[in-house]
Homo-oligomer: A and B are copies of this chain.
Amino acid sequence: MRILLTNDDGIYAPGILAMHGVLTDMGPVDVVAPETVQSGGSHAITIRHPVLWRSIQVGDKFTGTSVEGTPGDCVKLAINALLGQRPDLVVSGINAGLNTGIHVLYSGTVAAAIEAAILGCPAIAVSFELYKDMEFDIAAGIARSVIDRIGQEGFVPGTVYNINIPELKPGLPRGVRVAPQSILPMDERIERRSDPYGREYYWLTGDFKNIGGESDTDRYMIQEGYVCVTPLRFDLTERTLMKKMEKWEWPDVATKL
C-alpha cells in the first residue's frame, strides 16, 4: 500500500509529522507538501506561475518534497509527475484547526483530498480542533483507527472522507459519528482598523460558536465531543433545482455575427 501524505499547514507543521508517524506501518509514505502555510487557501491551483519544488529532510523523521505552491498543486505534481505511479491512498493533514461546516469550502486540507479524488485516488482529510498544547500524536492515533475502519470497507477511488477531531479532554472523544456538512454561515465579524498611514483595512474574523438549532451536522458532533466523519463529493450540481430548470423555456441567444 503506497500512501501520499500532504497538508496545507506546510511540510514542517507538527500535524503532518504526527500523521506520518502513524502511517508508516501501512506501507511506503511519500510526503509532498507546501513549503509554507496555505490555510484558507481552498482549492487554489497555480496556473500563472511556475511551481518549484525541492527534496528536504524534516528532522530525523522523513525526507519529503517541499512545493512552493498550494495543496492542490502538491497533489497534481505528486500524482502526475513525481511519484511515477498513482498512490493507493492520499491523506491530507493533520490540519491545525477544524474543517467543518462551510470551512470545508475554504480549506486547503480538504481541497488536497478532493484533488486526489478527482485524479482517481481514495482520499482522506484529517483536521483537529485548535487549542493550546494540541496533542497531535494522540489525534493521529485516533485518525489512524478511523482510517483503518474505512479501509475495512475498502478504499474506493474517487471517495473523500473528511475527518474532524475535537479538543482532547479526559473521557473524550466520546466516539465517532457520521454527519453531513453544516451549511450555516459563520458568525462573522469584520474588524475595521486603520493602518499606520491612516488607510482603512479590514481583518476577517468570526467563529462557529452559534450553531443555531442544528443537531445533526459536523459542527454539532464536534461540539458534543465526537470525532466526525463526513463523506464528500466534488460534483457541485444541485440536482433538484436542475430537474425543475430543465422544464423552463429559455430565450433565443443566437448572435447575429
Contacts and interface: CB of A to CB of B under 8 A. Distances in A.
Interface of A: 37, 39-48, 50-54, 72-73, 76-77, 80-81, 102, 104-106, 111, 114, 118-120, 135, 138, 142, 145-146, 148-149, 153, 159-160, 168-178, 180-181, 183, 185, 188, 190, 192-193, 195, 199-205, 227, 229-239, 241-242, 245-246, 248, 250-255, 257
Contact of A48 (B39, B104, B153): B39
A123 to B, nearest CB: 12
Nearest to A73: B204
A255 B138 contact: yes
B245 A106 contact: no
Number of copies: 2
A50 B200 CA distance: 10
Contacts of A44: 40-42, 44, 106
A233 B227 contact: no
Given A168-B255, A175-B254, 8 more contacts: A43-B43, A44-B44, A47-B204, A51-B202, A53-B202, A142-B255, A181-B237, A231-B238
B242 A237 contact: no
Nearest to A257: B170
B233 A202 contact: no
A255 B205 CA distance: 31
Given A81-B192, A255-B172, A231 B241 contact: yes
A169 B235 CA distance: 30
A180 to B, nearest CB: 4
A37 B200 CA distance: 22
Given A193-B50, A253-B145, A181 B231 contact: no
Contacts of A80: 188, 190
A254 B142 CA distance: 9
B193 A253 contact: no
A237 B229 contact: no
Contacts of A178: 242, 245-246, 248
A208 to B, nearest CB: 13
Contacts of A53: 200-202
A109 to B, nearest CB: 13
The 9 nearest A-B residue pairs measured at CB? A176-B250, A180-B237, A42-B43, A42-B42, A231-B241, A81-B190, A233-B238, A50-B201, A231-B238
A113 to B, nearest CB: 11
Given A51-B203, A200-B53, A173 B253 contact: yes
